[in-house]
Chain A
Amino acid sequence: MTGTGTAANPGTGSHPPSLPAEGSALKAGSRSWFTLSTSREERFFLLLAVFIGLFSGLAVVCFRLAIDWTRISLLGPAPEPHSWRLIATPAIVGLIMALLVVHVFPLVRGSGVNQTKAALYIYNGYIPFRTAVGKFITAAMAIGSGQSLGPEDPSLQIGASLASALGRRLELSRERLRLLAPVGAAAGLAAAFNAPISAVLFVIEEVIGRWSAGILGSVVLSAVSSVVVVRWFLGSEPLFRIPAVGLVRPTELLAYAVLGVVGGLAAVIFAKAIGYLRPRLRAWPRWTQYLQPAAAGLIIGVIGFLGAPQVMGAGYEYMDQAMHAQFTWKMLATLALLKIVATTLSFVSGAPGGMFAPTLFVGAMLGGAVGGVERALYPGLTGSTATYALVGMGVLFAAFLRVPMTSVFMVLEVSGNYSIIVPVIVANTLAYVISRGLEPTPIFDLLTRQDGLDLPSLEEQREQTVLRVEDAMRPAPTPVLEAQSSVEQALRRVQDMPGTFLVRMSPSGWGSTTSDTLKRLAGEGKGEMTLGSTLPIRNLPYLHPDLTLEAALRHVYQVPLVPVVHRADFRRLEGVISREDVLEKYKKQEGD
């Protein structure tokens, strides 16, 4: 298997089947939903999003049961150090899992986020149903046997896969099918996290990459539906039981800022470790891929055997314990470090599973540890271990996964406490800035590039300089003519000057003319008539200085000179812009 064996290469013989082309589904007949009016189609799509949410929720409930059942069966109801089961189980299961991944479900390696993104941008929303089945089985085996991975990213992929399958079953258009993947992804993630807002934001920040009103409603509906299902079956309790948290003194923000710095550095180490090891392990001979998950499992098992079984699996119960101050700061720091090692090994070995839970785990432990040290040095600090652990979760989420908005809302949703928002924002921002400074490529982008794909990244889009009309416009050519002036008067003003002149129309709007046109009109005996009544070009399109050059492109190809006017006074001319100006600006930017 090559390094691009995941989303980059949807597998031998698993290319998307012939998808219905846009509008080609009319074969279904006049009463098919494809021929419905746009508004009815929109309504149908929203309803479909609800069903996708329900199905994803049900699938995630089963997935969580499967993980729990596997864990109890394989590791026992209460895993404890010095049990040989801890060493043997992840290694043996790793071997079986590798066989399944290599031979039966080749698309299930890794977390699932990039695969979903690839489905959206490359495969027209196509994710084989087999992927959902494979992800369900192999991820449950991996997480249940103790691999240091989480269930959220697989849930996201399972949701997207179910949505894609449903869309294909209903023979939706390519465009609709493409939109269904993020709808299912949001549903799967929301169900796994029991946090709809974070899921929606994550899908927008990381999968879709842009805010689009057209899809936002469906994403929100599916996320909410899936959360309703999960809460119906598994209860409405948040992921963590957070003791009372809050910020007593504003000066304590400094303590959280320190956590932001430490978290940012830890995230960089975590990301660099994965970025360094993953391509190297994939470059090893094909037969080693049968052994890599087993070897990772063995090492993680040894860590558990020697006294840290907390790093095995998703580790939510231990995050809960950390928040309730049940570990010393030294133990918390050790667990954070070991979890980074264990997760890196699990992930680069190709074991199917997500990075959300390990990221939260590392964040909680690191936060608790930093808080413990700070409180030991400055006993006056009032923040509890839970507060630091919670902020730490957000910090790692922002710095490692590089989703700053999601990280803030995630903390608020899992804690249900808004009083912590200021420390979270401070620490997350610092961590994000440090991480971005030291590791310019976000982890998910790094993984897609290692897989040979180039998918759009919202972070990169945010970083790009947006060229605007004001960057390319130039001063308006003088004179600017008035519509009330006669043709003779206008001709006297422009004389034999070359080029195009703008005409301010009355009561509003803009037109344009040239000295040749004016001469022709005068020759036709229309010299006494006003410009407004004789001009062939009236109602020119106009632009505002803050619009993007991309928006200007549509107009500069229609007319040679487009007026740029003030937003509050359309008769006030700020400048003009032409096709040449726009192209010149783009050339100059590329040169820079």
Chain B
Amino acid sequence: MNVASLKLLTRRPPVIIASLAMVTVLAFLGVNRLVNRFREQEKALARHLYEHGLQAQAAGQAERAVADFRAALSYARDNFDYQLSLARALRDTGRTAESETYLISLWERTPQEGAVNLALGRLFAREGLFDKTIQYYHNAIYGFWPGDPETKRRDTEFELITFLLQHQAYPQAQAELITMAAALPSDPGLRVRAAQLFATSQDYEHALAQFQQVLRTDRDNQAALYGAGQAAFHLGRYRTAQGYLRSAVRRDPQNTQAATSLKTATMVLDADPFAPRISDAERGRRVRSAFQMAGERLDNCAKANEIDLSPRSPSGGLPALKAQWLEMAPKAAKLRPPRNDGAQDEIMDLVFEIEQQTQSTCGTPQGLDQALFLLSQDRNGVER
């Protein structure tokens, strides 16, 4: 084949197309290699900047972290972790509007991502937007979590409940807790945490149940013993509370709160004139003692508040109670259970009335007065 015919051949359209296709393939391969190498370098650079940002964040340098995360994102703008870290760092620097915009745009792309929803929930919690906070926390709880999703969902649930409790949304917190507790594993730590939150939400019944469940497998669990004692105490089950608190104090004598609660519970039980299985003499002694204590409480409270208890003062309030107390004093002195013609109940009614009135005037009582006040709160409900 001579040069002329070769030249002629190269001018044929199929040959031209084939040649161009070959050049294209070769160029593709070359550019592909170049792009891959460059992308690797960019990834490494982004990783370096990201780690730098994390270090800055850990050191409390939020602004530095924001700059590093932004720089990292300019080399790997699809990286979810970098984007989320930037949004969190922006939130930490107080730039909630920027953080929100960033997170919302992330959320629009990955509405199922638990981490994004959690970050949004935390952001709205910080801004005090109650409904939005709950919405995104719920999204996070039911969202997608790569790697140990159960733990992350549970942690989110705990966080949401804590938020609700901080905002005194007790019914909502209790509802969340009941749902979560039903699916809790038998880990004592988690049970104790849930029980403590039940107690904070003032659902002492569920709190006690959770603590008791822990104690069935771990009888020496100090937190459970103390928590169960406190829950029982709040439920008015002073006998049960006494048992748990006594065990708690025995295992940890340094637990002063347990010791105080135990002392109060014991005092309530010792002061209760309606307690079963006590002698008539003891019952009479308790009624008289309570009557005497209420009188002193009334005098001290009036004195502290400069209230005149003399018969000349206007009727109603503490002076009226004082008048009733004085009227009741002879009956109390002559009280001989069980033949008392209802005087015992009459005296104790007055005692409880005095304790409640003085509590509202002079604040929470101490010692036996506190025990009488607790008895007055739920006279029939007290566990005997």
- Which positions in A face B, CB cutoff 8 Å? 28-29, 31-33, 36, 40, 44, 47-48, 51, 54-55, 58, 61-62, 65, 68-69, 72, 77-78, 80, 170, 233-235, 237, 241, 243-244, 317, 320-321, 324-326, 384-386
Contact = CB atoms under 8 A, between A and B. Distances in A.
A54 B68 contact: no
A454 to B, nearest CB: 36
A72 B46 CA distance: 12
16 contacts: A31-B12, A33-B13, A36-B13, A40-B13, A54-B27, A58-B31, A68-B38, A72-B45, A77-B45, A78-B67, A78-B70, A233-B31, A235-B78, A317-B70, A325-B101, A326-B101
Contacts of B67: 78, 80
A320 B86 CA distance: 14
A317 to B, nearest CB: 5
Interface class of chain A by DSSP: helix
Contacts of A77: 45, 49, 71, 75
A325 B31 contact: no
B13 A55 contact: no
A233 B37 CA distance: 12
Contacts of B78: 235, 237
A80 B70 CA distance: 12
Contact of B24 (A51, A69, A244): A51
A44 B13 contact: yes
A321 B31 contact: no
Nearest to B105: A243
B97 interface: yes
Nearest to B66: A326
A152 B207 CA distance: 66
B74 interface: yes
A316 to B, nearest CB: 9
B120 to A, nearest CB: 13
Contacts of A32: 8, 11-12
A33 B108 contact: no
A324 B101 contact: yes
Interface in B190-225: none
Given A58-B31, A62-B34, A243-B105, A29 B71 contact: no
B326 interface: no
Contact of A51 (B20, B38, B45, B68): B20
A244 B101 contact: no
Nearest to A321: B70
Interface bin, chain B: 35 or more
Contacts of A80: 67
B35 interface: yes
Q: Which of B17, B20, B49, B90 has the most CB of A within 10 A?
A: B20
Q: Which of A55, A241, A385 has the most CB of B within 10 A?
A: A241
B105 A324 contact: yes
A235 B77 CA distance: 11
B98 A326 contact: yes
A317 B20 contact: no
Contacts of A28: 8, 11
B11 A29 contact: yes
B28 interface: yes
Nearest to A65: B38
Given A55-B24, A325-B98, A244 B108 contact: yes
A243 B90 CA distance: 17
B166 interface: no
Q: Which 4 A-B pairs have the closest CB atoms?
A: A78-B71, A325-B101, A243-B105, A33-B13
A58 B35 CA distance: 10
Q: Which of A321, A384, A385 has the most CB of B within 10 A?
A: A321
B31 A61 contact: yes
A29 B71 CA distance: 59
B24 A324 contact: no
Contact of A58 (B20, B28, B38, B73): B28
Contacts of A244: 104, 108
Nearest to A54: B24
B377 to A, nearest CB: 50
Contacts of B34: 62, 65
Contacts of B179: none
A161 to B, nearest CB: 16
Q: Which of A32, A80, A326 has the most CB of B within 10 A?
A: A326
B87 to A, nearest CB: 10
Contact of B38 (A31, A69, A385): A69
A324 B66 CA distance: 14
Contacts of B68: 78
Contacts of B12: 31-33
